[in-house]
Amino acid sequence: MPDRMWSLAEFRFDEAIEAAEVYLDSGTELELMARDESIAFAHERGANLVASCPPTGEAAPSCVVAKVSLPVRWERAPIDEPPIDERLWFEAPCGRDVLVGNGHSFTGRMAAWCPHEGVGYNVSRAEMGAMSEEARYFVAGFLAGNEPGYPVDVDGETDEADLSAWRAALARFRRTGSWYGRWGTCQVCGCVLLPDTAGDRCHQHSAAG
């Protein structure tokens, strides 16, 4: 699953599809065809050959027959900013601030609005004080949707130790909303830290420190 929306610069149709062969999607089946033959097929129907997704560099790309007009441009649709919902309050150092959405920075970071300063900023679960019932459920749902997937190797297999580590990291993530996502080790015992933490001590040695 892509974690980012594709740029229009990655849209490919007709001769810009860099492949000798393509899978032509007729809606019911995929047929492997020469690209040029597929383009001719599309043009005969007053349409173009459109690649379904950006090139992966592996198999022949899947394509559909669809109309393209030049210059290539995005569909236009209204941008509605959702109104601030006061029920999503939480205690911040300045008073009650309000959750307003996704921070789109690091995993688990939420967008917040401070009515005292009139500024928007990003916040993690661990930085929030007391909060409303509505905010509590907003955070739980947000973090559930932000959970990184479990580790898999090139064959799609998951190591048992990786799976346990992932579960333990997620348990902490649900409490803190932090996911550091870099390798780190414990300064005391040298174990490899779970990826949610930016600390330098493992769970076992952080209390003693």
Residues engaged in binding Zn ion (CB under 5 A): 92, 94, 97, 114, 116, 186, 188-189, 202, 205
- Shortest distance in whole angstroms from residue 24 CB to Zn ion: 56
Nearer to Zn ion, 52 or 185 (CB): 185
Q: What amino acid occupies position 81?
A: E
Nearer to Zn ion, 55 or 209 (CB): 209
Nearer to Zn ion, 174 or 205 (CB): 205
- Shortest distance in whole angstroms from residue 134 CB to Zn ion: 18
Nearer to Zn ion, 67 or 116 (CB): 116
Long-range contacts of 82-88 (CB under 8 A, 24+ apart): 84/113, 85/134, 87/132, 87/134, 87/135, 88/132, 88/134, 88/135, 88/138
Supply 39's token pair: 């383009």
- Shortest distance in whole angstroms from residue 13 CB to Zn ion: 49
What SS3 state is found at 110? strand
Q: What is the largest CA-CA distance in the chain?
A: 75
- Shortest distance in whole angstroms from residue 90 CB to Zn ion: 10
| 42 and 48 Cβ atoms separated by less than 8 Å | yes
What SS3 state is found at 135? helix
Nearer to Zn ion, 49 or 112 (CB): 112
Q: What amino acid occupies position 173?
A: F
- Shortest distance in whole angstroms from residue 157 CB to Zn ion: 28
